[in-house]
Chains A and B, each alone.
Chain A
Amino acid sequence: MTSSDSIRMEKLSYTIGGRRILEDFDFSLERGVNRTILGISGAGKTTILKLLLGLLQPDAGRVCIGDVCITGVPESDFMELRKRIAIVFQGGALFDSMTVGENVGYRLFEEGRLSQVEIEQIIREKLSFVGVEPALDLYPAELSGGMKKRVAIARALAADPDYIFFDEPTTGLDPIGVYNICNLMQRLQAEGKTTLMVTHDLETAFRTSQRFTFLHQARMIFEGTQEEMRESRLPEVQQFLRPTVESLFV
């Protein structure tokens, strides 16, 4: 494995409104190793994804995609690199004013390299992959929560990225919706995509990832496999895995 096959955070610190979100945070996502970042709500999980994508700039430390560090670099200079990564936002973040088809083909239309017919073919292919092809001409407001997430996955897949980030992909979904999303993630992994998920949903995490990072009070306090996590003696990790009634009131 070379550094060009990974996305890294080195000694990263990030503060917002006087509150420290991350401190001296080291993290690496290697190609082919599907990871989940766990932590309670508000721990800074989504912030990590935004920092990895260069949507936020850290106070200290750096983020590197492959051999290139993107921290402090104008966004226009790493657009090409960022095309290797796609993200499925928590609420889907579908563009309200566009149809499902236009949402999925957004990047391809923007790039303008392919013909209309080719783009439409890719759109249908991706929508069919996630199982929402009949929704092609609908607007996001006409979709259910689960469908929105599946369309967001189709949009993420349209440009054929190497890495796909998922921000709480199963939050707010019914059990069937959760099952469908997990299934989709496993199919993506089988196709060679590397996934990074942030969630507090343990069931989804254990079904779709090999390695886990646990975030607590702005720091990474655990990194390892599912077995290592279950055997961890860290009280924060144990409390997260098996919350007791007492701990809920602490």
Chain B
Amino acid sequence: MSISVIDKKMLHFFNDLQEYFFLAGRSLLRMFRRPFYYREFAIQFDKLGFSSLFICILTGLFTGMVMALQALIQLKPFAATSYVGGMVAATMIKELGPVLASLMVAGRVGSAITAELGTMVVTEQVDAMRVEGTDIIQRLVVPRMKAMLLAMPLLTVVTDLISLVGGYIMSAGYGINPTMYIKGLPQFMVFQDLIEGLVKPVFFGMIITLTGCYIGLNTRGGAEGVGNAAKQAVVLSSVLILMSDFFITKVFVVFR
């Protein structure tokens, strides 16, 4: 690969990065500016948030069950199965709940946002809105962002709670009674862990929306372009979620 090609690719990458952060900044500023598009917000909350509930319940249930199963196998030789609730709670609430729920939502919602906006771009609906005097970020990005900022923590809480239920279902099979399981839940956690478990999905929700909107609004090339954009949005938002998870965790560890 020649230097000019690398140079071009780097330039393209940094230009995209700059535009991504511009979009983030503009969206955050416009969140507090009129018009608020309440109807659009409600529609997006239903489409992006409420309709992802079932997938999050399934994710939480089975992850909680498998976490408990693995923990029980490890703890049983040491007669320490009473710690299973605490292990499931600490792992799910701090880490797996936010990450898994966000990855599931990224797959479901990120691609939907990109496909919808991408189709609007290639069919010139976005241009039509601009000609009609609409601020595209205010109209299309901000309601989705607000919906996700509210929905993602709620979905994570549901995922966490269901995973604890799943953990109990598994533990019950190993003779652990409900009181022992519930009493064990907070034993490896502090209050800051609950905050961590709620802050992460807020960031992840922002990443999913911004990535979906950025790629969607920059879609080129008809139906094939929309398909590629949707795929790209899911991959990119998933990678960004995993990367930012590390950095957010690191920040919480520093301030522990």
Contacts and interface: CB of A to CB of B under 8 A. Distances in A.
B131 A82 contact: yes
Given A91-B123, A93-B125, A96-B125, A111 B133 contact: yes
B134 interface: yes
B124 interface: yes
Contacts of A111: 133
Given A93-B124, A93-B125, A55 B132 contact: no
A82 B132 CA distance: 8
A208 to B, nearest CB: 21
B5 to A, nearest CB: 14
A107 interface: yes
B133 A91 contact: no
B133 A107 contact: yes
Contacts of A176: none
A93 B133 CA distance: 15
Given A93-B124, A95-B125, A96-B125, A87 B131 contact: yes
Contacts of B131: 53, 55, 82, 85-87
Nearest to A79: B133
A138 to B, nearest CB: 17
Interface residues of B, number: 15
Given A55-B130, A75-B130, A93 B135 contact: no
A55 B133 contact: no
A106 B132 contact: yes
A186 to B, nearest CB: 23
Interface string A1-23: 00000000000000000000000
Contacts of B128: 87, 89, 93-95
Contacts of A159: 132
Interface in A63-83: 75-76, 79, 82-83
A90 B124 contact: yes
A107 B131 CA distance: 9
A191 interface: no
Contacts of A50: 127
B210 to A, nearest CB: 20
Nearest to A90: B124
A110 interface: yes
Nearest to A54: B130
B124 A83 contact: no
A85 B132 CA distance: 9
Given A55-B127, A93-B125, A95-B125, A107 B135 contact: no
B127 A107 contact: no
Nearest to B119: A96
B142 to A, nearest CB: 14
A187 B124 CA distance: 26
Contacts of A55: 127, 130-131
A85 B133 CA distance: 11
A107 B120 CA distance: 17
Contacts of B125: 93-96
Interface in B120-154: 120, 123-125, 127-135
Contacts of B124: 89-91, 93
Interface string A95-117: 11000000000110011100000
Interface in A25-81: 50, 53, 55, 75-76, 79
- Please indicate which of the listed interface residues B123, B125, B128, B135 has the most CB atoms of chain A within 10 Å of its own CB: B128
Interface string B173-187: 000000000000000
- Please indicate which of the listed interface residues B123, B128, B131 has the most CB atoms of chain A within 10 Å of its own CB: B131
Contact of B134 (A53, A87, A110): A110
A110 B130 CA distance: 12
- Please indicate which of the listed interface residues A53, A106, A110 has the most CB atoms of chain B within 10 Å of its own CB: A110
Contact of B132 (A75, A90, A91, A107): A107
Contacts of A53: 131
B130 A93 contact: no
14 contacts: A55-B130, A55-B131, A75-B130, A76-B135, A89-B124, A90-B124, A93-B124, A93-B125, A94-B125, A96-B120, A96-B125, A110-B35, A110-B133, A110-B134
Closest 10 CB pairs of A and B: A93-B124, A93-B128, A107-B132, A89-B124, A79-B133, A93-B125, A55-B127, A87-B131, A106-B132, A95-B125
Given A93-B125, A159-B132, 13 more contacts: A55-B131, A82-B133, A89-B124, A91-B123, A91-B124, A93-B124, A94-B125, A95-B128, A96-B119, A106-B132, A107-B132, A110-B132, A112-B35
Interface of A: 50, 53, 55, 75-76, 79, 82-83, 85-87, 89-91, 93-96, 106-107, 110-112, 159
